[in-house]
Chain A
């Protein structure tokens, strides 16, 4: 299997609002794939459909070879998901959060103990093991959230604006972890607003008002839009969106 995620004419509407429309996307296995676009362009809705949090209105999508509408539970065992809300239990410690998610993902007994010990080491969380998650700073929460989403070694990792509101040093450390995961074969789909993060992806897809309007490597994208940088593309898109809205 060389394809990790594939969508065909994927569409999602909320009442009269069309959030995602006619989306055709193929993400290869092992790829670090960036999903870019202004607020409201459909990035989060797309990720949520792929993770089974939202049902597509029409069209289809497969994740890890399984259809999102027909076999969501098979998909859930094989993916990790992290959102900007982090999804941590504030009143559990770092270790308890990790242990809870690892067990829910089916890790048990000695397996779980060795895996968690190793994972906490890799993620640099061992020093905070007994601290309550609610008392962690944003950067540490982000790191713990990523650890919770990856303890079960998912084949595909979905990251929805994972670095929103985190300082530059923490963002850099976060991306180092992403590359370690990608190096071990994990496919990563990430949405972001940061241009430096976009540059770190192998391929990018640009969404605008629910439509795919650009696809390519960070080097190819600016040329497609007749701009010098990705940031310039982004600003141009935002301007167009606002023009359309006005």
Chain B
């Protein structure tokens, strides 16, 4: 038999044909697959937007002068910060931020006004609770803007001036890494893809087992590679649809920068999608029911959320946690997403991650097909 004939007669085709028909008829799932990224990103967007504006702010004004009051009012009018009270000591600042009363604190030292009068750079501090990376990023840019506005005013009043009159230093507490919203959005895309790909693949084969159609398929001459690939390949399309939706909403809601080549991102994504599908397939060979498949898929999400670098920087983790992270496809894909989207790098800076993902994908698919047994024992 020629190769063309062999490909034409492959039993993966009837599987694919059937899967696409079933997918087309399952309107609810289809809607969820496209709707979930949109919904997630919109919800996420609201969370960010309520956080970034009107952050409760306390003031420790040790200068008590017209200059310090002017700075307080500029900061208070910036829209990012709402001054909710004045305190009299650093201890109070710490306790109010720690109990959540305030998200930020403006600290103006005693010599503030005299520094400006003598033509020195007057220093003040904007302390920001950076435990929540999104609000921290917004707070920092808000502080910069307020300081900039005040500096302009001072420079205008003083005419020519040799030094910058005001230095508002931002002190991010609790999270010195200073993650910003644009840093998180690519992560949301990666997390979403991981969850959906793993979940739908792991339940797909088990569903046939529960409905009794797997038994019927096993007695046919279909080879297990065709069976497994036929069940998996349609989800590649789903993965791309989901990634596209997420990128679209990321762009619209967050103004997510897309600095690199989108084509490069889509090419690299195939390795990640296949690796995630491989995880799903592997799960499906380990469980007997859809409920078990779901539980295992969600369990798999935990290390992805915690150890992939999605929220917490991997460099700050203890070594064993870093090793676990190295086994997760998302760890590599996050680097690809952030580098291509935010840094705009070319293939030379992401090929290592791409190759690693391809190797992981191959290994997972191979092991899953190997493990799958055409018996019902």
Contacts and interface: CB of A to CB of B under 8 A. Distances in A.
Given A81-B216, A85-B211, 13 more contacts: A52-B219, A52-B374, A73-B221, A77-B221, A88-B213, A89-B18, A89-B22, A91-B25, A92-B18, A96-B21, A100-B18, A103-B11, A104-B217
Interface string A36-73: 00000000000010011111000000000000000011
A85 B215 contact: yes
B13 interface: yes
A188 B17 CA distance: 31
B212 A83 contact: yes
A53 B218 contact: yes
Interface in A75-131: 76-77, 79, 81, 83, 85-92, 96, 99-101, 103-106, 108
B1 to A, nearest CB: 12
A106 B375 CA distance: 21
Contacts of B219: 51-53, 76, 79, 81
B18 A86 contact: no
Interface of A: 48, 51-55, 72-73, 76-77, 79, 81, 83, 85-92, 96, 99-101, 103-106, 108, 148
A48 B376 contact: yes
Interface of B: 8-9, 11, 13-15, 17-18, 21-22, 25-26, 211-213, 215-223, 374-377
A51 B216 CA distance: 10
A73 B224 CA distance: 11
Contact of B215 (A53, A89, A100): A53
B151 to A, nearest CB: 66
Contacts of B8: 108
Given A87-B215, A104-B220, A53 B375 contact: yes
B14 A72 contact: no
Contact of B14 (A53, A87, A90, A103): A103
Contact of B216 (A52, A87, A106): A87
A90 B374 CA distance: 23
A91 B212 CA distance: 14
A83 B211 CA distance: 12
B16 to A, nearest CB: 11
A89 B220 contact: no
Given A96-B21, A108-B9, A72 B213 contact: no
A103 B13 contact: yes
Contacts of A89: 18, 22, 213
B212 A53 contact: no
A52 to B, nearest CB: 7
Which 7 residue pairs are nearest across A and B when measured between Cβ atoms? A87-B216, A85-B212, A103-B14, A81-B219, A76-B221, A77-B221, A104-B220
A11 to B, nearest CB: 15
A88 B25 CA distance: 16
Nearest to B226: A104
Contacts of A76: 219-221
Contacts of A73: 221, 223
